Amino acid sequence: MTQNKDFTRNEDLAGTYDVVVVGGGAAGLSAALVLGRSRLRALLVDAGEPRNAPSDHMQGYLTRDGMSPAEFLALGREEVARYGVELVHDRVVDVARDEDFAVRLAGGRTVRARRLIVTTGLRDELPDVPGVAERYGRDVLHCPFCHGWEVRDERFGVLATSPLSVHQALMVSGWSADVTLFLHTVAERELSDDDLRRLAAAGVEVVPGEVAALRVEDDRLTGVRLADGTAHERTVVFVAPKAVPQTGLMERLGAELRETPFGAYPVVDPTGRTSVPGVWTAGNAMGFAEQVVHAASGGYRAAAAVVGDLIMSSLDSAVAE
């Protein structure tokens, strides 16, 4: 893995850490800040692929509204490093639990940790329609809370990939009165009477038929082309990517998962403690709907619980001796 100035050199890692945080997005960095300020020896390992990287701007985080996601994370790393947390740019490829945790990095090192906080996020799998991946985070969007204000009153299309896309079309009608739902892979008969009534009440036009491609001109989305050759002028398209939670490490540790319509996530208590003793989680690795502010808050909560757990277990050992 390449190194960048914010990170510790991989070969300098040694000994047992109180906590290893896997993933350095908002959740992991927020957890690391709390761990550092709690005087713990902590290591944060980050592969550097945050979910919102396709967007130039991050919205809805109080005092940071509009900041670039990259700048937000760079500032986070700077704050965390001030408290002595080690940051390494690498990927955790395996983890095993015996008395503590053995955490293997792609770079070849294995580090040990008394506790783990897994904040590996989720991956978005986009519908395979030409133009979608290229425009994602710009004028192909997934979340009106993230970007709705910026594109308000524009000509919206919603590219359906399941009947749940009706919900997305209804939601985005709060940001524009001009919404077309392209049914694409969804058959008209899959829409319920309630769906149709609500779509009509919201003034959403419903267009059956497969979408062949998005039309892009002068680096701007201008429309949607159907397989039958018809074209519809649209300046913004909403999609619902398939969420793929990055829970591989947790599964390897035997964590219990719960199925949701948006993937399987670890079963957690209110602090993010998983069913595996000593392992906490936060952010999108814990739930689909976690926005940046939730991820930061979840990381804080998990770290505070870990700090308490370590202090109490040391005291219990001292008492036992």
Ligand X SMILES: Cc1cc2nc3c(=O)[nH]c(=O)nc-3n(C[C@H](O)[C@H](O)[C@H](O)COP(=O)(O)OP(=O)(O)OC[C@H]3O[C@@H](n4cnc5c(N)ncnc54)[C@H](O)[C@@H]3O)c2cc1C
Between 27 and 240, CB nearer to ligand X: 27
Q: Report the relative pairing of strands 205-207 and 179-182 from DSSP bridges.
A: parallel
Give the shortest CB-181-to-ligand X separation in angstroms. 21
Inter-residue contact 255 to 276 (CB < 8 Å): yes
Total binding residues toward ligand X, as defined by CB under 6 A? 38
Between 65 and 233, CB nearer to ligand X: 65
Give the residue from 148, 198, 199 showing the smallest Cα distance to 176.
148
Give the shortest CB-212-to-ligand X separation in angstroms. 23
Give the shortest CB-49-to-ligand X separation in angstroms. 4
Between 107 and 208, CB nearer to ligand X: 107
Candidates 7, 18, 21, 24; binder of ligand X (CB under 6 A) is 24
Between 101 and 206, CB nearer to ligand X: 101
Please give the Cα distance from 20 to 93 (Å, whole number): 13
Give the shortest CB-37-to-ligand X separation in angstroms. 19
Between 86 and 195, CB nearer to ligand X: 86
Give the shortest CB-228-to-ligand X separation in angstroms. 30
Inter-residue contact 155 to 235 (CB < 8 Å): yes
Q: Is 127 in the site for ligand X (CB under 6 A)?
A: no
Q: Is 247 in the site for ligand X (CB under 6 A)?
A: no
Q: Is 55 in the site for ligand X (CB under 6 A)?
A: yes
Q: Is 291 in the site for ligand X (CB under 6 A)?
A: yes
Give the shortest CB-125-to-ligand X separation in angstroms. 11
Inter-residue contact 298 to 286 (CB < 8 Å): yes
Q: Is 46 in the site for ligand X (CB under 6 A)?
A: yes
Q: Is 246 in the site for ligand X (CB under 6 A)?
A: yes
Binding-site ranges for ligand X (CB under 6 A): 22-28, 45-52, 54-55, 58-61, 91-92, 119-121, 124, 137, 146, 246, 283-285, 290-293, 295
